Amino acid sequence: MSRGRLMLRETMSAIETRLGSRQFARINHSAIVQLDQIREIQPAQHGDYTVVLRDGATLPLSRSLRGQLGKFMTGGA
């Protein structure tokens, strides 16, 4: 397992509820990130976006969750 990542056998909705939305955000069907670890959101092909974390990791941002994440980020997505 990579440093800084956690694997749980629980539904994503349950994890989201437990973590709360003040410090964490779901960015796609299989990833929840800590908001202060997001370095930037970059445009990708075909209107998609990529979330770049402070450690350089990149994750796809779901179109359906993009607006929700944008309200937390300076400048929005």
CATH number at 51 reads 2.40.50
Q: How many CB atoms lie within 10 A of CB 76?
A: 11
Whether 54 is in a domain gets the answer yes
Asked if residue 29 belongs to a domain, the reply is yes
Q: In this structure, are residues 7 and 1 in contact, taking their beta carbons and an 8 Å threshold?
A: yes
Higher pLDDT, 41 or 8: 41
Does 44 or 75 have the greater pLDDT score? Answer: 44
In a domain, 22, yes or no: yes
> Residue 56 has which token pair?
């350089």
Is 18 among the domain residues?
yes
What total of structural domains would you count in the chain? 1
Token pair 């937390």 is found at 72
- The mean predicted confidence, pLDDT, of the chain is 82
| Structural domain harbouring 57 | 12-70
Question: Residue 73 above 90 pLDDT?
Answer: no
For residue 20, what is the DSSP state? -
pTM, two decimals, is: 0.73
